[in-house]
C-alpha cells in the first residue's frame, strides 16, 4: 500500500472517530450530568486524569518502541519484529508492578488531590480502585504499537470507535442505575478490555510466534533490542513526561484550586476545541510514517519540502475548524449543557489558539519521535513542561479557569514554537523562515476574518441545532475559500487540486 493511500486511510478513519466521538459526547454528556451531578462528574474526570498520569511510569517505552518496530517492519524482518515485541511485553510486565505500587501510594492522597464532599469520599475511593482495572491491560500495549508502526492507524481508530460506543453505553446504563463514579470506571474497564482483546488478536494473527518468543527467548537474543530500547527510552521518557505534565494537568489544577465542580464548565467549554485539536493532530498522526520513510531513505530535501507543505496544511486546516467553534462556542454550550456551564470568552480564545498551535507542534514533534531523534527535543520539552505548569499554578488562584490555559499559551508561544524551529533546522536542515511563513500567513488571514464572522454570529444568532450547524459550516467554508484564494498561487492551487483528485480517486478505489 502506497504512502498516500496509507495516509488517506488513516486520516479518513481518524475523521470518522472524531465524528463518532462528537456525536456520542453531545448525546451522552447531558444525561451523565443529570444522573451524576456536577460534583460527581468533575471528580470522576479528575480521578481519571490522575490515573492517566500514572502512565508516566511507562518510562518512555511506547515512544521508544515505535521506531524500533517500524524499522523491523520496513526491513520485513519477522523474527526481529517478534523479538522486539517480546522485549516490549516483558518490559511492560515490569512496569505494571511499578504502576500498581505507585497507585497504592496515590490512593492515600487522592482525597486531598480531588477534594469532594464527605458524602462522596467513600464513593470516590471505591471508584479509584475500580479505575485501576484498566492498568492490568498494560502488558498488551505492544500489540497496539505494532499496528501503529505497521501504518495501520485505521485499525486502531476503528477499535477506538468500538471502545467508545461500549464505554458510553455501559456508563449511561450504570449512571441511570445510580452507580455513580464506580460505574463510570467499570464502563471504561469493560470497553478497554474488549478493545485490547481485539487488537491483541489482530496482532497475534500476523505474528503467531510472539508469545512463544516472550516465554523462551534468551537474554543473549534480546540483548541488542534491550540496548536500543534503553538508548531511546530515556529521552522519550523526558519528552512524554513533560509534555503530559504540561498539557494534561489542567483539570487537576482546576479541581485542586477551584473544586471538582469547576472542572465541568472548564471541560464543557473546551469540548469542541479538543475534538478539533485532535482532528488537526491527526494530520501528523496520518503522515508521520511517510516523513519517517523519506528520512530513512536520506531524502532530506523532499522531507523538508513535505514538512513545509504539511505545516501550512495543518495551520490552515486548524483555522478552518477552530474559527467557527470560537465564534459559536457560547451557543453550542448553551444548547448542549446550559449557558451556566460556559466558562467565558477568555477560555474560548485561549483554547482556540492553543489548539491550532498544538496541531503544528504535534506535526513537528513526529519528525523527531518518528525517526528515533526524540533526544534532540527532550530538554526543550522539559523546559516547556516546567514553564507550563508553573504559570498554571501561579495564575489559576487569581485568574480562575483562564489560568491553566494561560500556562499552555505562554509555554507554546513563548518557548516551544521557537525551540522547535531551531531544532528542526539543526537536525533536519529545515528552513525556519519557510516554516514560520507557513504558520503565520493563515494566522494573519484569520485575524482579519474573525471580526467579520463574530459580527455575523452576533447579528444572526442560531435558534437551534440545525441553524447552529449550518452557520458553523458556512463560516468554515467561507474561510476555506478565502484561504484557497489568498494563501495559494495559481500553481499551488493546481498542485493541490491534483492531490485532492488523486486522493479522491484512491479513496474511491479502496472502497470498491
Dump pLDDT digits (tens) for 136-167: 998 998 888 888 877 777 788 889 899 999 99
Query: Does residue 238 sit within a domain?
Result: no
Q: pLDDT at position 502, please?
A: 63
Query: Does residue 327 sit within a domain?
Result: yes
Q: Would you put residue 180 in left (φ > 0), alpha (ψ -120 to 50) or beta? A: left
Q: pLDDT at position 495, please?
A: 74
Residue partners of 366: CB distance under 8 A and separation at least 6: 284, 285, 287, 288, 291
Residue partners of 369: CB distance under 8 A and separation at least 6: 63, 66, 67, 236, 239, 288
Q: Would you put residue 68 in left (φ > 0), alpha (ψ -120 to 50) or beta? A: alpha
Query: Does residue 341 sit within a domain?
Result: yes
| Residues across the chain | 512
Same domain, 209 and 267: no
Q: How many CB atoms lie within 10 A of CB 378?
A: 19
- Domain ends where: 195, 226, 257? 226
What is the average pLDDT value for the chain, to the nearest integer? 85
More reliable by pLDDT, 304 or 240: 304
Same domain, 256 and 217: no
The domain of 344 spans 249-512
Task: Locate 39 and state its grid cell.
Answer: 460534583
Same domain, 195 and 263: no
Same domain, 299 and 188: no
Distance CA 240, CA 224 (A): 24
Same domain, 305 and 196: no
> What percent of the chain has pLDDT above 70?
90
More reliable by pLDDT, 370 or 37: 37
- pLDDT level of residue 439 (50, 70, 90 thresholds): very high
Query: Does residue 378 sit within a domain?
Result: yes
Same domain, 184 and 294: no
Same domain, 201 and 347: no
Tens of pLDDT, residue by residue over 84-93, are: 888 888 888 8
- Can you tell me the mean pLDDT for 25-41? 89
Same domain, 15 and 122: yes
- pLDDT level of residue 506 (50, 70, 90 thresholds): low
Task: Locate 326 and state its grid cell.
Answer: 470560537
Tens of pLDDT, residue by residue over 446-486, are: 999 999 999 999 999 998 999 999 999 999 999 999 999 88
Distance CA 64, CA 75 (A): 18
Same domain, 87 and 56: yes
Q: pLDDT at position 408, please?
A: 92
* pLDDT over 80 at 238, yes or no: no
* pLDDT over 60 at 75, yes or no: yes
Same domain, 264 and 158: no
Same domain, 212 and 284: no
* pLDDT over 90 at 410, yes or no: yes
* pLDDT over 70 at 493, yes or no: yes
Q: pLDDT at position 324, please?
A: 95
* pLDDT over 60 at 509, yes or no: no
Structural contact between residues 204 and 73, judged by C-beta atoms closer than 8 angstroms: no
- Domain ends where: 194, 226, 258? 226
- pLDDT level of residue 399 (50, 70, 90 thresholds): very high
Structural contact between residues 100 and 276, judged by C-beta atoms closer than 8 angstroms: no
Structural contact between residues 124 and 47, judged by C-beta atoms closer than 8 angstroms: yes
Query: Does residue 243 sit within a domain?
Result: no
- Domain ends where: 211, 226, 241? 226
- Can you tell me the mean pLDDT for 36-55? 86
> What percent of the chain has pLDDT above 90?
39
Number of domains comprising the chain: 2
- Can you tell me the mean pLDDT for 321-333? 95
Q: pLDDT at position 17, please?
A: 79
Same domain, 408 and 478: yes
Tens of pLDDT, residue by residue over 93-116, are: 888 998 999 999 999 888 888 888
Structural contact between residues 361 and 416, judged by C-beta atoms closer than 8 angstroms: yes
Distance CA 336, CA 339 (A): 9
From 197-206, 226-235, 272-281, 410-419, the region with the lowest mean pLDDT: 226-235
Amino acid at each position: 500500500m502506497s504512502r498516500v493511500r496509507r495516509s488517506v486511510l488513516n486520516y479518513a478513519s481518524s475523521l470518522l472517530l472524531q465524528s463518532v466521538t462528537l456525536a456520542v459526547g453531545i448525546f451522552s454528556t447531558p444525561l451523565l450530568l443529570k444522573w451524576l451531578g456536577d460534583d460527581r462528574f468533575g471528580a470522576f474526570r479528575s480521578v481519571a486524569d490522575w490515573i492517566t498520569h500514572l502512565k508516566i511510569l511507562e518510562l518512555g517505552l511506547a515512544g521508544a518502541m515505535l521506531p524500533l518496530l517500524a524499522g523491523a517492519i520496513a526491513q520485513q524482518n519477522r523474527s526481529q519484529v517478534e523479538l522486539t515485541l517480546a522485549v516490549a511485553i516483558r518490559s511492560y510486565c515490569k512496569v505494571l508492578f511499578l504502576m500498581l505500587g505507585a497507585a497504592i501510594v496515590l490512593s492515600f492522597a487522592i482525597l486531598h488531590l480531588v477534594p469532594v464532599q464527605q458524602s462522596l469520599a467513600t464513593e470516590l475511593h471505591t471508584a479509584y480502585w475500580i479505575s485501576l482495572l484498566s492498568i492490568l491491560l498494560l502488558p498488551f500495549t505492544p500489540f497496539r504499537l505494532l499496528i501503529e508502526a505497521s501504518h495501520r492507524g485505521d485499525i486502531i481508530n476503528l477499535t477506538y470507535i468500538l471502545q467508545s460506543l461500549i464505554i458510553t453505553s455501559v456508563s449511561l446504563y450504570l449512571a441511570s442505575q445510580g452507580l455513580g463514579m464506580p460505574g463510570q470506571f467499570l464502563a471504561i474497564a469493560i470497553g478497554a478490555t474488549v478493545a485490547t482483546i481485539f487488537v491483541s488478536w489482530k496482532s497475534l494473527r500476523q505474528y503467531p510466534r510472539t508469545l512463544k518468543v516472550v516465554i523462551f527467548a534468551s537474554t543473549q537474543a534480546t540483548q541488542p533490542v534491550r540496548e536500543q530500547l534503553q538508548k531511546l527510552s530515556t529521552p522519550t521518557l523526558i519528552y512524554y513526561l513533560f509534555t503530559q505534565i504540561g498539557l494534561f494537568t489542567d483539570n487537576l489544577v482546576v479541581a485542586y484550586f477551584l473544586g471538582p465542580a469547576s472542572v465541568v464548565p472548564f471541560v464543557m467549554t473546551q469540548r469542541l476545541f479538543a475534538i478539533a485539536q485532535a482532528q488537526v493532530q491527526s494530520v501528523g498522526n496520518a503522515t508521520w510514517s511517510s516523513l519517517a520513510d523519506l528520512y530513512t531513505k536520506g531524502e532530506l530535501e523532499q522531507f523538508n519540502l513535505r514538512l513545509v507543505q504539511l505545516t501550512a496544511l495543518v495551520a490552515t486546516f486548524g483555522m478552518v475548524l477552530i474559527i467557527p467553534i470560537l465564534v459559536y462556542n457560547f451557543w453550542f454550550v448553551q444548547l448542549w449543557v446550559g449557558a451556566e456551564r460556559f466558562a467565558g470568552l477568555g477560555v474560548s480564545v485561549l483554547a482556540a489558539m492553543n489548539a491550532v498551535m498544538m496541531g503544528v507542534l504535534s506535526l513537528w514533534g513526529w519528525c523527531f519521535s518518528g525517526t528515533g531523534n526524540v533526544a534532540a527535543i527532550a530538554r526543550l520539552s522539559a523546559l516547556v513542561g516546567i514553564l507550563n505548569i508553573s504559570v498554571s499554578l501561579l495564575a489559576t488562584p487569581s485568574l480562575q479557569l483562564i489560568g491553566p490555559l494561560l500556562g499552555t499559551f505562554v509555554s507554546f508561544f513563548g518557548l516551544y514554537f521557537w525551540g522547535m524551529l531551531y531544532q528542526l533546522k539543526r537536525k533536519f536542515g529545515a528552513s525556519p523562515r519557510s516554516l514560520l511563513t507557513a504558520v503565520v500567513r493563515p494566522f494573519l488571514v484569520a485575524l482579519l476574518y474573525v471580526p467579520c464572522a463574530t459580527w455575523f454570529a452576533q447579528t444572526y444568532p442560531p435558534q437551534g441545532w440545525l441553524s447552529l450547524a449550518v452557520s458553523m459550516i458556512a463560516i468554515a467554508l467561507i474561510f476555506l475559500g478565502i484561504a484557497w484564494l489568498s494563501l495559494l498561487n495559481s500553481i499551488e492551487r493546481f498542485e493541490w487540486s491534483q492531490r485532492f483528485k488523486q486522493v479522491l480517486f484512491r479513496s474511491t478505489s479502496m472502497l470498491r
